[in-house]
């Protein structure tokens, strides 16, 4: 990595500052970094159509700030530039019942801390306090839009941003700043070509068209965002997936070729409660967990988003799909769970295992 000490710029040179910021971002552990100028979001109209079609389902936070998402200057007034970063989370790791991104620490916390460190470094470098804010999948920003504008990749047919040297197994984050920075060239090329592997592989047919996802049919949505019952007609498609789904990324040729292994001591390495467990084992353990045990085992985990009742619901579906009669006792015990949601899905799983309609 090029040393920032060899890039002595004047404090107001937009090009030199941009190069310094990106170098520092790499030094903080990010795998990609680019600069984008803030302004109207190019994909705002597509996002509006997607919301109006009802594809967001229960994700009510998405339409809540739809006006601010139309322009990347609006969430934090006064800013002009964004440092857009990506951090990979191990696309070479084996598949399993938990999507790769959720096996370790919560990426929001990890990346926001590093982006704040980048902000503090910027203040020190420039010699004054720069107004700005770090965003990692929590604010009203169309981050893929900014990432493409910053030259980090293109939108794949599975809706993920794909980078030609890294694939798509990475998180995105943005540091918006009231600072003039030389922007990178946007990524203008679509490199998916005629490939439709991601669309064809989806177990629940969640893609309405290339780059159009009906989230209400997506396994990641069903096992994480949805708070109610998983529709009966989609439960079989969930298969052995307890939390999230990587299928459309697993089959992508760009990931097959370019996805990276987790670096040593990565915050995204599988935690003890997940590591080495197959779907049936983890499902049985989750169904038997108390809230106290869950809070302890999944402290600082993104899996807490689904809450224990959601994970128990998912666990029952998984056992209904891939379990056998040895799993009947744990499902029978779940029929007495305090949550009706868990009881209903356990009853469905028992009917499947007992061969009754």
Active site residues: 137
CA dihedral sign of residues 337, 340, 345, 348? positive
Buried b (16+ CB within 10 A) or exposed e, 123-150: eebeeeebebbbbbeebbbbbbbbbbbb
Q: Which residue has the tokens 């006064």?
A: 78
What 51-54 contacts at long range (C-beta under 8 Å, 24+ apart), as own/partner pairs, is 53/214, 54/216
User: E strands within 178-279?
Assistant: 207-209, 212-213
User: E strands within 181-249?
Assistant: 207-209, 212-213
CA distance linking residue 126 with residue 146, whole number of Å: 24
Cα R_g (the chain), whole angstroms: 22
Query: CA nearest 34: which of 121, 125, 178, 149?
Result: 149
Q: Which two tokens stand for residue 309?
A: 């009742």
CA distance linking residue 216 with residue 255, whole number of Å: 25
Query: CA nearest 122: which of 149, 83, 148?
Result: 83
CA distance linking residue 350 with residue 332, whole number of Å: 8
Q: What are the backbone dihedrals phi and psi of residue 164, each rounded to the nearest 5 degrees, phi first?
A: -70, -15
């Amino acid at each position: 990595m090029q040393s920032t000490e060899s890039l002595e710029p004047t404090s107001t040179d937009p090009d030199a500052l941009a190069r310094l910021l990106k170098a520092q971002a790499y030094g903080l552990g990010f795998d990609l970094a680019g600069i984008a100028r803030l302004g109207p979001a190019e994909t705002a109209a597509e996002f509006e159509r997607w919301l109006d079609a009802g594809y967001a389902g229960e994700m009510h936070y998405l339409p809540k700030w739809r006006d601010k998402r139309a322009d990347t200057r609006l969430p934090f007034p006064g800013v002009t530039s964004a440092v857009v970063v990506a951090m990979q989370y191990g696309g070479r790791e084996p598949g399993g019942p938990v999507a790769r991104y959720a096996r370790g620490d919560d990426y929001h916390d990890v990346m926001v801390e590093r982006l704040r460190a980048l902000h503090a470094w910027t203040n020190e470098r420039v010699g004054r306090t720069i107004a700005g804010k770090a965003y990692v999948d929590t604010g009203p920003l169309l981050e893929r839009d900014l990432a493409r504008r910053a030259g980090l990749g293109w939108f794949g047919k599975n809706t993920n941003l794909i980078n030609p040297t890294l694939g798509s197994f990475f998180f995105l984050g943005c540091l918006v700043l009231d600072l003039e920075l030389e922007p990178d060239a946007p990524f203008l090329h679509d490199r998916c070509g005629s490939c439709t592997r991601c669309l064809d592989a989806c177990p629940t047919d969640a893609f309405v068209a290339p780059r159009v996802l009906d989230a209400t049919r997506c396994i990641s949505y069903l096992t994480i965002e949805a708070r109610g019952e998983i529709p009966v007609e989609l439960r079989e498609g969930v298969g052995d997936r307890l939390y999230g789904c990587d299928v459309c990324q697993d089959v992508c040729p760009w990931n097959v070729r370019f996805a990276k292994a987790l670096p040593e001591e990565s915050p995204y390495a599988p935690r003890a409660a997940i590591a080495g467990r197959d779907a049936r084992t983890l499902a049985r353990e989750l169904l038997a967990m108390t809230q106290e045990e869950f809070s302890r085992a999944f402290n600082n985990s993104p899996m807490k988003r689904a809450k224990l009742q959601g994970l128990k619901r998912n666990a029952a579906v998984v056992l209904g799909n891939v379990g056998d009669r040895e799993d009947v006792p744990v499902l029978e015990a779940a029929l007495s769970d305090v949550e009706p949601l868990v009881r209903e899905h356990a009853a469905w799983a028992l009917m499947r295992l007992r061969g009754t309609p």
